[in-house]
Structure formats: structure tokens, C-alpha cells
Structure 1
Amino acid sequence: MRRNSSLFSLFVVLFSSLLTGCSGSAVLNALTPDGSYNLESVPYGDHSRQQMDIYYPDDPQQRQKVVVFVYGGAWERGDKADFEFIGQAFARLGYITVIPDYRLYPEVEFPAFIDDVAKAVSQLEGAISASCPSAQSVILAGHSAGAHSAALVAADPQYLQAQGYSGRIGGAILMSGPYDLPLDHSRVADKFSQANGNQANPVALAGASMPSTLLLHGRADSVADPEHSERFAQRLAELGVPSQLHIYPRTRHVDLIASLGSPLRFLTPAYGDIQRFLSEQHLDDWCD
């Protein structure tokens, strides 16, 4: 298919519109090739939302580290089943990939949804049925509100410590997130009414122990301004934390996460940038 063809243009418009809702994820999942993973769903807590999908690569050779992906949805919606294309994307690279559901507003407020992400990470050792990939060495990934949650868990040790997790976060892949969270914003205030000061601000909480971090953002993002990633990247550089920042021109909020799905990787270079980051930061070692 040529990029200047009318069919290509129709394809882009169709998926850009579809991917603004659950139907778009369903279409993208349906078009994602089968045969690269096996899926298992397990609980990590007693609440009905405390469940996680685990994607095991079909290939017997697997990476040593485990990817945990936190989806977005403004902390008030979302379902792990909508992100099968993400499980496939990382499983195809050889990573066992975990996508947890978590409790949502208005049933809970901050920090409950962050606690759930940390709880899911803490339960990996008993949940993963594989000998080599280490639940004690995790790569946290996330998009939008999920990127904020992943960033908080990576930046503030209290969340994993409270869950008794003794492992380490080996890296972070953060996409289109609000890292300098405005607590007075209309879509944030009620959900974070219990946050004091910088409790919910990854930029402020990040320290020198923050793991190697990849920040991806679209310049045309109207949901989370790319300045969030730029400020976070500047702070990490000041701390001496290995980090990379990629801002994609004309890329919108949903386009970025959609471009990780195999049918839509022509939209951005994000998938290749993720692979290079994992390699350069030595986060892609294979099991023996």
C-alpha cells in the first residue's frame, strides 16, 4: 500500500476515529496477528477489578525481564481485554507481559489505583508460571493516566515497599502521560482530592534511583500536553538518570498507543524506538 494512495488515507482516518473508543481497540485487537503468545488471567487481589492478564511468548526463548503495562482511561474507565494488541507487541519481542485491571473512580480515589498497580507487581512471583523471567526485575510501561500511575510507582518507593515487593524496577516506558499533574484540573480534582502537595507529582518525586526511562509523546496531543514529558525529561537529566525523549510531530494522544499495534506501526516510529531503548539500556537479555 502506497502512503499517498486514497486507500491508505481512508485506512488512517478509519482507525484514528475508531480508536477513540472501545470499538477501536476491538478492531485493532481483531487485526493483530495470532500465534505469538499464550494468554492467562489470574487474580492479584480479592476485588473483582484486581485481575491481570499475562501474555507468555510462544517462542521458548524469553527475555529475563517482565513488562507490566498500565493502560489509561482518566482513572475512571478501561479494561485489560482492550489492550491485547499491547500484550502481543511486547510478547513478540520475547517479554512476558502483564496487563492488570485496577479499581476505578468513583469507587476509589487516589492512591487506591496506584496501590493496585504496585500490588499487581508484588504478586508476579507467585503468578508467573515460568522459571527464568524474573518477577524481581520489572519494566514498567504505561499510557496516559496509566503512564502517570507507572511513573509514580517507579518514582516513589513507598508503593512497592507497602506491598512487600523486594525486587527492582529495571526500566520505565512512559507514553503520553501527565507527569506534572495539575490537581485543580476538572478531570483530576475529584479523583485526587486526598493528594497533598507533590504526592501525585512524578516530576517532583523522581530521585536519582529512578530507573532508566523512555518518554514518548505526540506533539499534537490535546489530552496531555507534551510539555509534561519535556519537563520530566529535564528533571531526569538533572538527576543523572539515563533517559530518552521522543516527541512525534502531528501525533495525537490515541495515535501513539495505537501505533504499537502491528497493523498501525506506520503511524509513528514508537515501536522501533522502544526496541532500541531496551537494547541500549541492556533490558533485553535473554534467558539462558
Structure 2
Amino acid sequence: MLLLAVLASCSFRGITVKENIPYMEEGFLEEMPEKRLSLFVPKRAAEPVPVLVFVHGGSWRSGNKERYGFFGRRMARRGILTVIIDYPLSPAYQVHAMGLATAKALDWVATNSADYGGDPERIVVSGHSAGGHLAALVTLTNRYFDSLGVDNPVAGAALIDAAGLDMYHYLKEQDYAPGTSHLKTFTDDPEVWKATSPIYFLRDDMPPLLILMGGKTYDSILEGTARFLDAYREFEPEPNFKRQDNKRHVPMMAQFLYTPGRAFRWVRDFVLEID
């Protein structure tokens, strides 16, 4: 707790940014594209610092890591080694490829973060919207890490207005026509929907979760988060859940532009308290 108090009360004088580091080569497992990540490294840390890996949103079909440099810089200035990743997008790739890429990035971080002053035993994965879905998925299921032949290194997850927490229920209710955007990502197969819905992998020994949701976000996220929380309470009666009543979906991420904000402090403190 003393370390938390020290880190939370001050900013580092500076950070080092290392951009566009490949974590997955073209043709990995015969089908994956090259993907890269960027590192935001606190300077002059006296001991290894916790690591935060962020997965961007964009409905699984858009977005890139370059948009979130503000998040990496602000977290790094509070003593957190922050990693922003890219991953394969729909329609060229489907959800299992996205989960596999996220796991590959986390394995890269677990293997290499110590070289940048990070503590590989304290890796938190976070994401907004579709990125929150992928963060929850790799936290709660080991299938992608098993495919890579490595251990799951995730010690906690911070979900920011996460989409798709029960994609199986959502897609069944929507009954989309074949070829609809979400089905390009999740396929027409209900078994894939269920296998990629984090709600079905909640368990007793899962890492801690911080769940943030906007009170004015999309109806699908309101409903999906409510269903997820109901299931989560069977394992954790008092979830670490923060509802921001006046926030819509995009402002749930935009608020991290301001370090004095509540959401910034919630995520920062959650990461710093991981042990």
C-alpha cells in the first residue's frame, strides 16, 4: 500500500515511447497478419512497475492503436508501463483471430515487459467497447493461450463500456440476416457466438475485474453488462462496478484525456493494486 500511495501521488518526470514494435509476424500460424504494439515506459522507476495492456474499440472492424497514445502517456506518467496494441479487424478476419492476436500480444508483453521495467507478474488487460470484449475474453478463457502453448499471464482486467459480453444472447435476439456486419465478425455459427461470449467463462478462480459502464451508452451494452453482472455476482457478490450515469459510449473513453477524472483514478488504482 505504501508503493500505491507513492505512485498515485506523483507523476513521473517523463516517459519513453517506443512505437510500432512487431509482436506477431506475417503468416503466424499460417494465416495471421503482422501486428504491432506501442510501449509507454515510465522513466526512473526504482523497481518493476505494473503493466497495462490496452485493446482499442471500433465494433471489431475499425480503429487503431495510434488513436490512444493519450491513454498510454497518461498512465505511464503515473508509474504504469502501458502497452497499446493493434489486432486483425473484420471483415478480413473473424473473432477467433482477434482473440488469438490479443493473446499473442499479451504473451509478448509477459516475455518482454521486464526489459522495459515492467513486472510480468502484474499484467492487467483493458479495453473499450469491442476491445473490452476481447480483454474480457482472454482474461476468462485460456483457449487462445493454449493454442499458443503458453500460460495466460493476465492478473486482472479493466473493462471500459465493454461490448459483446454475452454475444450469444445478443445475436440470437437480433436474428441478423447472413452477411450482416456482426456476423462477418462472429460468423453464422451459434457455437462460435457462445465460445466467444465472456459471460460463459466466469469461474471461481478468475482474475479480478473492474467494470465501467456509461449510463447513457448503447442499449446492447446496458443489457449485456447487466446480464454479465448478474452472472458475475454468483462468484463475486460485490463486483467492482462503476456506472457513470451521464456518460455515453464514446465519452466513456474520451474522459481518459483528463487525468483528474474519476475513471482515470479508478483504472490507475486498480492496476497499481494488482499483486
TM over 0.5: yes
The answer to whether 1:146 aligns with 2:131 is yes
Gap runs ≥5 in structure 1: 1-32
The answer to whether 1:240 aligns with 2:236 is yes
2:22 to 26, 34, 43: 43
TM-score where L is the length of structure 2: 0.80
The answer to whether 1:180 aligns with 2:166 is yes
Gap runs ≥5 in structure 2: 1-10, 27-32
Q: Is the 8 A contact 1:210 1:241 kept in 2?
A: no
Structure-1 separation of matches of 2:155 and 2:95: 25
Residue correspondence of structure 1 range 164-243 to structure 2 within 5 A: 164-166=149-151, 168-178=153-163, 179-181=165-167, 182-183=170-171, 184=175, 186-193=180-187, 194=189, 196=191, 198-222=194-218, 224-240=220-236, 243=239
Residue correspondence of structure 1 range 64-213 to structure 2 within 5 A: 64-128=49-113, 130=115, 132-166=117-151, 168-178=153-163, 179-181=165-167, 182-183=170-171, 184=175, 186-193=180-187, 194=189, 196=191, 198-213=194-209
Greater share of helix residues, 1 or 2?
2
Structure-1 separation of matches of 2:125 and 2:270: 13
Name the SS of the counterpart of 2:209 in structure 1.
strand
How many equivalent pairs are there?
Answer: 247
Structure 1 stretches of 4+ moved >6 Å = none
Q: Which residue of 2 aligns with 1:22?
A: none
Amino acid at match of 1:51: R
Deviations 1:158-204 (A, max 9, x none): 11222233353111100111211123455422210156151111111
Structure-2 separation of matches of 1:252 and 1:44: 33
Name the SS of the counterpart of 2:232 in structure 1.
helix
Q: Is the 8 A contact 2:137 2:198 kept in 1?
A: yes
The verdict on how the C-alpha distance between 1:227 and 1:246 changes in structure 2, with shifts beyond 3 A counting, is: farther
Structure-2 separation of matches of 1:62 and 1:99: 22
The RMSD of aligned alpha carbons is 2.5
TM-score where L is the length of structure 1: 0.77
